[in-house]
Amino acid sequence: MNPERGVLVSGNWKMNENHFEALRLVQELAALLRHTALPGGVEISIHPPFTSLRTVQTAVETDHVPVVLGAQHCHFDDRGAFTGEVSPEMLAKLGVTYVIAGHSERRHIFGEDDDVVRKKLDGIVRHGMRAICCVGETADERESGRARDRVSEQIRAAFSGRKPDVLGSFVVAYEPVWAIGTGVSATPDDAEEMCAAIREDLVSVAGAAAAAIRIQYGGSVAPETAGELVRCPNVDGLLVGGASLDAAKFVAIAAAAI
Ligand code: PGA
């Protein structure tokens, strides 16, 4: 971590927790966070499914829970004939701060390519929210030595040609696809190597503004591994899936993020 960028710990609930369960989870988080001294500079975002956003937003505001609201996905347009989709404008009106874009499950299961991800980033910033742009290589790409190139391609597609004033609002999440939901996290050395490479790519597309962009690591993060991952100089936070559904584990991860 870098003290100027601080640390962002994000809980991606994926397609879990109906709105009753979501309310219980946020209440559990509230209770634990009341009694946990978080290190300074740590920000927490939680990303429930769309159907729970309003419930969670109300609970966070009413109980003054020290977390910000996030979403997992959005369409890139503001409105129109896109059955089933949710627009960035709708999320902004719900008080959403961070929106995940380009998660590997969206890329691989729902066919989102680099162009769609870029348009989503445009929509998210247009409404004053912050995008968490996920990048990462598959196991095949890593085994065949193409990991660095693939991640570089994703970074360039997402960030080249953007105005310096919006660049600092972005977060990149490096999530090797082989580490997501598998229980096999990247080692701190591997995470740092790729996050440092991402920082170089960001400098080459964004110049000095790249210094403000936070880079999270994601993929099987657990309370036992969170501290050593966040102590890597180019890792500025964690994107947590499975462990974010357990309030005690998620708070332990945030507490370890110094
Ligand atoms: P995981 O998911 O922590 O369950 O591996 C991470 C993610 O998909 O963001």
Integer CA distances (angstroms), 212 to 4, 14, 167, 219, 221, in order:
8, 27, 8, 23, 23
Low-confidence ranges of the chain (pLDDT < 70): none
Q: Angle of helix 114-126 relative to helix 147-159, nearest 10 degrees?
A: 40
The pLDDT value recorded for residue 37 is 83
The pLDDT value recorded for residue 230 is 96
139-165: per-residue pLDDT in tens? Answer: 999 999 999 999 999 999 999 999 888
User: Which atom from ligand 1 is nearest to the alpha carbon of 221?
Assistant: 3
- pTM to 2 decimals? 0.97
175 is catalytic: yes
Mean pLDDT for the chain?
96
The pLDDT value recorded for residue 165 is 84
Structure token pair of residue 5: 């960028």
Residue 161 C-alpha to ligand 1 middle, in angstroms?
Answer: 30
50-61: per-residue pLDDT in tens? Answer: 999 999 999 999
73 is catalytic: no
Residue 123 C-alpha to ligand 1 middle, in angstroms?
Answer: 24
